[in-house]
Chain A
Amino acid sequence: MLYTNLHHVMTAAEHQKLINENENVMICCGRMGPMCIPVYGIMEDLEEEYKHVKFADMEFDNPEAYVIRDVPEVRGFMGIPFTMYYKNGKLVKATSSIQSPAQIRTILDKEFAPVTVS
């Protein structure tokens, strides 16, 4: 169990539902370790700002996480977390290992859309 404040994806079916029902989705698949916790923390902070993105996590060792671990886009990944970005149900970007807030913002802005100031 990941003890973060993010939405937890527990099953492959839930994963499918989440990416189908939301235009922009970022899922961090990891454990409660030093490379993963910073990414969850960044996501928790960005959640308020990037209202057009749905943020979630999934436990790496959950057997159902094959939906992330076994896709061709992560072939060659040898560092957790695997962080996945989906647009309209389709995987558009995936990263391996820890990322900085700036790296994550760049991907969100490019793949989805920058935050608009209203």
Chain B
Amino acid sequence: MNDNTHFDAIVIGGGPAGMTAGIYLSRARLKTLIVSDGVLGGQMVLTHEIANYPGVESISGYQLSNIMKKQAKSFGCSIKANTSVVDLQLEGEIKRVSLSDGNTYTAHAVILTPGGRSRTLNMPGEAQFKGRGISYCATCDGDFFTGKEIVVVGGGNSALEEAVSLTKYATKVTIVHQFDHFQAFEYAVEEAKANEKIHFIMESAIVHFHGDDKLESVDIKNLKTGEIENFGTDGVFIFIGYVPNTEFLKGKLSMNQWNEIVVDSDMATNVSGVFAAGDSIVKRYRQVTTAVGDATVAALAASNYIHQLKTKQLHETLTH
């Protein structure tokens, strides 16, 4: 095995779960590589303020991510950001991970922490008008819509809370939601309903985005009657939840119907030597703290697995 390309463990995903795994593994003197598809920090950098991370009164997601990165590096962890996995072999005692930079690395164990991403509507015009009327971040782009009329898509907590915060800028906010009720907590629903700038179009969905060099209107389909209405708007904010980044794992290990990775209480998947942690696993509560917690378990279980594997291999070498 080539020393430059072989690791004890490869962690796929660079959010809080991935970096925690990197910290624990490299601190246990295991040669570890973290591969991150995007910038390090994952969805944590989406958070302007984290006020419920125990021991830290208040910090931005970006800063917390930078500290985690520094910690992982200080224990000798290798990190490759903005690099994606193009091929993955998880079976057997030696796992293979091929990356978009053209290199292939091997490892005894793999920890999967790919996290999730905002769901998109996938309707015609969505890609074209991203940044030209379509936004996924109210705090980022809200002020471009000062004095304008906008639409918010979704019915969860984020959709309703962001709709309320967008009324600081917009003169009218229309919430378009596919069901006849909201999934959000009651307080968020009440707050939105009490705001006179907020209007509702229920049991409906956007099916087309129109405009020239910027968004001008959307087609809204009534899901009960099938009727489609063209609705003039300057902006659309989309908050329809998250999907796990597990497409690259399809057929390689056990996942549930939502493509979340199935793990046991040691964060082990059904493939020997492959562990998983963070937002992409089957679980109910997705927080930075829970990602960090799962990843600690995954890293300790992986360390134990690697130790046993090495002992077994050593024993085999000695007895042959």
Neighbour of B140 across the interface among A36, A41, A95, A100, CB < 8 A: A36
Residues from chain B with a CB closer than 8 A to the CB of A95 are 131
Query: Is there an interface contact between B38 and A78, defined as CB atoms closer than 8 Å?
Result: no
Q: Is the CB of B130 within 8 A of A42?
A: no
**Chain A residues whose CB sits within 8 angstroms of the CB of B38 once the complex forms:** 38, 41-42, 100-101
Q: Judge if B62 is at the interface, Cβ distance under 8 Å.
A: yes
Chain A residue with Cβ nearest B42:
A38
Q: Given contacts A31-B140, A78-B141, A79-B144, is CB(A38)–CB(B131) below 8 Å?
A: no
Tell me the B116-156 residues at the A interface (CB within 8 Å): 130-137, 139-141, 144-145
Which parts of A66-82 form the interface with B (CB within 8 Å)? 75-80
CB of B117, distance to nearest CB on chain A (Å): 11
Number of interface residues of A (CB under 8 A): 26
Cα(A3)–Cα(B215), bound, Å: 32
Taking CB atoms, residues of chain B closer than 8 Å to A10 are none
Residue of A nearest to B130 (CB): A97
Contact B81 A79 (CB under 8 A): no
Q: Is A41 a contact of B141 with CB atoms below 8 Å?
A: no
Tell me if A79 and B140 are in contact (CB < 8 A). Answer: yes
Task: Give the dominant DSSP class at A's interface.
Answer: loop
For B213, list chain A residues within 8 Å (CB): 75-76
Q: Is the CB of B235 within 8 A of A38?
A: no
Docked Cα-Cα span, A33 to B41, in Å, equals 13
- Known contacts A38-B39, A41-B82, A96-B131; is-contact A80 B140 (Cβ 8 Å): yes
For B139, list chain A residues within 8 Å (CB): 33-34
**B31 on interface, CB distance cutoff 8 Å:** no
**Which applies to chain B's interface (DSSP): helix, strand, loop or mixed?**
loop
User: From A95, which residue of chain B is reached at the shortest CB distance?
Assistant: B131
CB–CB B132/A78 < 8 A = yes
Interface pair B39/A37, CB less than 8 Å apart: yes
In the complex, A35 has a CB within 8 A of chain B: yes
- Tell me the complex Cα distance, A79–B135, Å: 7
List, in ascending order, chain B residues with CB within 8 A of A97's CB: 130-131, 135, 141
Q: What are the residues of chain A within 8 A of B81 when measuring CB–CB?
A: 41, 45
Given contacts A35-B141, A78-B215, A100-B38, 6 further A-B contacts (CB under 8 A): A32-B62, A37-B39, A76-B213, A79-B141, A79-B144, A101-B38
Residues in B lying within 8 Å of A, measured CB to CB? 38-41, 45-48, 60, 62, 81-82, 130-137, 139-141, 144-145, 213-215, 234-235
A-B residue pairs in contact (CB < 8 Å), sample of 27: A32-B62, A33-B48, A34-B139, A35-B136, A35-B140, A36-B140, A37-B41, A38-B38, A38-B39, A40-B39, A41-B40, A41-B81, A41-B82, A42-B39, A42-B82, A46-B82, A77-B131, A78-B144, A78-B215, A79-B130, A79-B140, A79-B141, A80-B141, A95-B131, A96-B132, A97-B130, A97-B141
Complex A-B, nearest 6 residue pairs according to Cβ-Cβ distance, in ascending order: A41-B39, A97-B131, A96-B131, A79-B131, A34-B46, A76-B214
